[in-house]
Structure 1
Amino acid sequence: MLSVGFLLTTFISIFSIVNPFTAMPVFLALTQDLSNQERNRQARWGAIYMVIILGAFLFGGQYIISFFGISIEGIRIAGGLMIMRFAYSLLNPAEGGRKITPEDEQESQNKPDISFSPLAMPLLSGPGSIAVVLGFGSQTTGVIDAFVVFAAIVLVAVAVYGVLYVAPQLIKVLGKTGMTALTRMMGFIALCIGVQFIINGISMLIA
């Protein structure tokens, strides 16, 4: 399983679920009164916290699954359903999407640091991201495979930081139409991932 192809597949899958593009408007709203240097620091630490959170579920998720007696098949099917629900919100951004409540946004504006909450969790490493990491973690057959998935998480974090770093310029270039189109494209990829997770889980059950 150790291959560039597996690393690339894992990277694309996790990136499409993390989808920093939908986090950009909230991130900019919460950091509008900060200097560019401080905004970049928040983005950097948000990406670092995301690695820590998803890495913890990658390496500790199997113990949690075993403790509750959940099968790998169950994780894949449940994870697939959760990812599909998340994908639907991306395909229909007007009906939902990854947003925080006005109360949470107001609370966050009064916080000196938003890098952990709400940026890292739940904007970047929410239930969908955790589900896809657990799904890939269940496919690993050894330590090397697990570290390939972790490497993909790190690469996603680097990409997330890059997107948030240029967020003020990027959101001007893309505009509302571009953001909607990009969000729906990510939603379609996420939907395919969710369906594949369910297919893999069902295939394991009937094998």
Structure 2
Amino acid sequence: MAFPALFSIVNPLGAALIFAQVTAGRSRAECVALARTVAFYSAMLMIASIWMGGTILSFFGITIDALRIAGGLVVAVRAWSLLQAPETEEARKQAQASQGGLSATRTNGMELAFFPLTMPFTVGPGTIAVAIALSSEGSTGVSTVMFYGILSAAALAVACIIWIAYAYAEQLMKLLGTTGTRIVSRLVALILLSIGVQILISGVQGVVMSMARNVVQLTH
């Protein structure tokens, strides 16, 4: 579930169209370099969330099940809003990427590579929550290192798609157009909603099982 979950929450195809708008006027070489940098930063953020998420949760005393419920709700609510009104989501992303109306063409694009183009435009709180929730699922049948390695590979694959989508954002915008983008956005939102519900169910199941074990222990 790692790759579709991360891909759906990031939605690189939809984000690429906004990336093309905020980098309009820049040379092809600058756009490609900026896309590569944003993809690199995105990969680092996702991988850091995967590997360090458990430590952060322990530090703040947050249980895994609580994170799953919260993360599932965040993802589901965001997916529902995107499913109902993709135009509103596009406007929000546009505002984030443009840094409050300041176009990337008015300054050095690399200065905007991490903020706001990577965080929160490409990899926002929802993506980080999903990455931590995925890492909290625990390894089954494989070693812990292999488990985290597989999750990291999924994050790298999503980062590669971000790189390609952003680098060819103008061509993608011409190919899909506004209508095509909204169709893709709604399909992605539906998948994202299902993933959010699945994460939420996992959290609720964990809480119920924990309560059941406590009751059994008390009765004995």
What TM-score comes out, normalization by structure 1 length? 0.90
**Are residues 170 and 103 of structure 1, via their aligned partners in 2, closer, same or farther at CA, if it must alter by over 3 Å?**
closer
Q: Does 1:50 align with 2:42?
A: yes
Equivalent residue runs for 1:107-122 within 5 Å: 108-112=104-108, 113=110, 114-122=112-120
* More moved, 72-81 vs 49-58: 49-58
Paired position in structure 1 for 2:215 = none
Within the candidate set 124, 128, 137, 1:130 is matched to 128
Give the match for residue 6 of structure 1: none
- For 1:94 and 1:107, locate their aligned partners in 2 and report how far apart those are by CA, in whole Å: 20
Q: Deviations over 1:146-182 (max 9, x none)?
A: 1110010001111111111221111111111100000
| Contact residue 65 and residue 71 of structure 1 kept, 8 A | yes
| Superimposed CA distance per residue, residues 17-58 of structure 1 (whole angstroms, 9 cap, x where no aligned partner) | 110122123311221121111100000110000011111111
2:198 counterpart residue number: 196
CA–CA distance in structure 2, aligned partners of residues 124 and 103 of structure 1? 13
Q: Does 1:41 align with 2:33?
A: yes
Q: Which deviations, in whole Å up to 9, do the C-alpha atoms of 1:65-100 show, x marking residues without a partner?
A: 001110000000000000012112321213335514
CA distance in 1, matches of 2:116, 2:38: 9
The match for 1:185 among 174, 184, 187 is 187
Specify the code of the residue in structure 2 equivalent to 1:154.
Answer: L
Gap regions ≥5 residues in structure 1 = 1-8
Select the residue among 66, 90, 106 that pairs with 2:102: 106
SS of 2:93 mapped into structure 1:
coil
Secondary structure of the corresponding residue to residue 130 of structure 1: helix
* Structure 1 Cα separation of the partners of residues 93 and 56 of structure 2: 28
Query: Is 2:94 the partner of 1:94?
Result: no
Contact 2:26 2:105 in 1 (8 A): no
What SS does structure 1 have at the residue aligned with 2:61? coil
Per mean C-alpha deviation after superposition, the further-off stretch among 25-34 and 178-187 is 25-34
| Letter of the structure 1 residue corresponding to residue 66 of structure 2 | G
2-side partners of 1:134 and 1:170: how far apart? 31
Whichever residue aligns with residue 132 of structure 1, its letter is: V
Identity %: 36
**Aligned twin of 1:72:** 64
Number of residue-to-residue matches in the alignment = 199
Q: Distance in 1 between matches of 2:27 and 2:174?
A: 18
Higher mean C-alpha deviation, range 195-204 or range 14-23: 14-23
Provide the rounded CA distance (Å) in 2 between the counterparts of 1:45 and 1:182.
25
Mapped to 2, the partners of 1:146 and 1:64 lie a distance apart of: 16
Distance (whole Å) between structure 2 residues aligned to residue 198 and residue 41 of structure 1: 38
SS at match of 2:186: helix
* 2:23–2:104 contact (8 Å) kept in structure 1: no
Instruction: Report what 2:161 is aligned to.
Output: 159
Distance (whole Å) between structure 2 residues aligned to residue 53 and residue 103 of structure 1: 20
Q: Any gaps of 5 or more consecutive residues in structure 2?
A: 210-220
